[in-house]
Amino acid sequence: MTRSIDTRLKDIEARLSPVAFRTCHRVVGDSVVECEAVTAALIADGRASPSDRFIHRVMVMP
């Protein structure tokens, strides 16, 4: 039985070392380019640091 994507993402976040990463951000978009643009905007606005952990989730239609 496979675990849901959300459960797997939460497991990844739980394993992150607080020393290595300040925060973990989940970025959801329609494409990789959109996720990368949102990540760049978060860093440019100062709401995220380049050393933070980013999990990109690309939503696709079946």
The predicted-structure confidence for 2-14, as pLDDT tens digits, reads as follows: 568 778 877 777 7
pLDDT of residue 33: 95
Whether 52 and 25 have beta carbons less than 8 Å apart is answered as yes
pLDDT of residue 36: 96
pLDDT of residue 5: 76
pLDDT of residue 17: 61
Amino acid letter for position 18 = P
Structure tokens at 43: 């860093």
Q: Is 49 strand, coil or helix?
A: coil
What is the distance between the alpha carbons of residues 5 and 7, in angstroms, rounded to a whole number? 5
Weakly modelled stretches of the chain, pLDDT under 50: 1, 21
Residue 5: CB partners within 8 Å, gap ≥ 6? 57
